[in-house]
């Protein structure tokens, strides 16, 4: 198709998308790709976000930076800190913890809330406490972990806030380890999505706890409150939360079709609404988007073979300088094309990794990415002396001929 017609088609598609579904595409998508995408679902929750974990692409957001009480989603940070200690070997799953009166399940603060039912007279392992935290959402487990890692819960909370700042959670502040209502205790959908992705990426062994459907401790069997684990959605985490002030909250992650989505819903009006909103976010993401490798930096992913002058080989395979993954509307791959800007011939010697031209990936007339092209292998000078002598002159003659 001529470039002028391609440009016209692209413009028509953009207008069509804006007329039919004005809320269908995040702002950054308009300059990236012109395929129309249906509008995101309208949800009942006050604030929410849907992010693609591999690319960080935000597909849907509503008041995503609003500071709200996180309820038991607070335990994600408690688990994050513990997971870091476990990974570094500072504590072990087999370590036994002495339960304090403050961490006791009968603490009046915990009355009517979720507990794993630990007792001061019964030491408990870190492994059981972590399950009690993640699966049973035990407020008592949260305090026991906090006291074991930092002596007091107050000192542990300081750690929580330090890690929040390190992760860039600028709209979060923690006042306790469990999420029961407290002044100046808040987070946001975006921050909780950031925290969730950090757990998934940095601590996969500990993240596996989040998909466990039940946990039995002290003779008491409790089901994981994340009922989406029992549905065919690909969900393998994370947490639910509720208090009267926070409403119903949930952060979930699912992996399907080579793409992991993280959805956070805060201040939903009911448990049913919380589940419905999360399902709709996840289904929207998987129905309309996919992860696409625009470029792969692999020696077997050769994009071009350049002719070599004066070398010990006649052709030089060229590869992209880096892997580039993008989240695009489904169907975009049909419109992708690569444009190569490479010399007709290259002169030996060349080191492996030397830049030889560039590659541009476009969709329609829109440029998505640009990357250098690199030599996939090293090229040494030819062992034949006259080929080495003739090559520079040959290159100059060829360049003169092409410019003439």
**Which residues are known to be catalytic?**
72, 75, 137
Which alpha helices (H) appear in 89-203, and where do they start and end? 126-134, 139-150, 153-166, 189-202
Asked if 387 contacts 313 with a C-beta cutoff of 8 angstroms, the reply is no
**Cα–Cα distance, 306 to 338 (Å, whole number):** 16
**Cα–Cα distance, 48 to 44 (Å, whole number):** 10
In the numeric block, the tokens 């006042």 are attached to 175
Instruction: State phi, psi for 372 to the nearest 5 degrees.
Output: -65, 150
How many other CB atoms are there within 10 angstroms of residue 54's CB atom? Answer: 17
Asked if 252 contacts 278 with a C-beta cutoff of 8 angstroms, the reply is yes
In the numeric block, the tokens 């006791």 are attached to 104
Query: Could you tell me the end-to-end alpha-carbon distance of the chain, in angstroms, rounded to an integer?
Result: 29
**DSSP state for residue 385 in the 8-state scheme:** H
Among the listed residues 123, 122, 140, the one whose alpha carbon sits nearest the alpha carbon of residue 75: 140
Among the listed residues 293, 334, 260, the one whose alpha carbon sits nearest the alpha carbon of residue 56: 260
Which alpha helices (H) appear in 32-89, and where do they start and end? 75-88
DSSP 285-296: HHHHEEEEEEE-
- Distances in Å between the Cα of 301 and the Cα atoms of 330, 346, 374 are 23, 20, 12
DSSP 177-191: SS----TT-BB-HHH
Longest dimension (CA), the chain: 92
**Cα–Cα distance, 316 to 376 (Å, whole number):** 7
């Amino acid at each position: 198709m001529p470039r002028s017609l391609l440009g016209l088609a692209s413009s028509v598609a953009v207008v069509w998308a804006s007329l039919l579904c004005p809320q269908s595409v995040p702002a950054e998508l308009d300059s990236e790709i012109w395929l129309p995408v249906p509008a995101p679902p309208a949800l009942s929750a006050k604030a929410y976000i849907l992010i693609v974990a591999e690319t960080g692409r935000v597909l849907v957001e509503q008041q995503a930076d609003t500071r709200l009480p996180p309820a038991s989603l607070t335990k994600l940070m408690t688990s994050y800190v513990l997971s870091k200690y476990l990974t570094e070997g500072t504590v072990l799953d087999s370590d036994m913890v002495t339960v304090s009166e403050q961490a006791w399940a009968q603490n009046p603060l915990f009355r009517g809330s979720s507990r794993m039912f630990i007792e001061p007279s019964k030491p408990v392992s870190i492994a059981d406490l972590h399950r009690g935290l993640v699966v049973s959402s035990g407020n008592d487990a949260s305090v026991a972990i906090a006291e074991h890692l930092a002596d007091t819960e107050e000192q542990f909370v300081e750690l929580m806030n330090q890690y929040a700042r390190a992760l860039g959670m600028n709209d979060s502040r923690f006042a306790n380890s469990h999420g029961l209502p407290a002044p100046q205790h808040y987070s946001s959908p975006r921050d909780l999505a950031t925290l969730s992705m950090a757990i998934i990426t940095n601590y996969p062994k500990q993240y596996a706890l989040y998909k466990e459907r039940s946990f039995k401790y002290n003779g008491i069997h409790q089901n994981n409150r994340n009922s989406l684990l029992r549905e065919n959605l690909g969900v393998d985490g994370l947490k639910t939360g509720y208090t009267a002030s926070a409403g119903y909250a949930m952060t979930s992650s699912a992996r399907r079709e080579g793409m992991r989505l993280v959805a956070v819903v805060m201040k939903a009006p009911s448990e049913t609404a919380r589940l419905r909103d999360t399902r709709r976010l996840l289904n929207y993401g998987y129905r309309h988007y996919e992860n696409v490798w625009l470029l792969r930096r692999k020696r077997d992913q050769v994009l071009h073979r350049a002719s070599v002058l004066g070398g010990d080989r006649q052709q030089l395979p060229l590869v992209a300088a880096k892997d580039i993954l993008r989240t695009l509307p489904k169907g975009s791959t049909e419109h992708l094309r690569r444009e190569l800007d490479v010399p007709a011939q290259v002169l030996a010697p060349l080191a492996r990794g030397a830049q030889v031209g560039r590659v541009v990936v476009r969709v329609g007339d829109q440029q998505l990415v640009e990357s250098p092209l690199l030599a996939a292998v090293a090229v040494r000078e030819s062992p034949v002396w006259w080929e080495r002598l003739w090559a520079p002159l040959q290159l100059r003659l060829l360049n003169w001929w092409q410019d003439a």
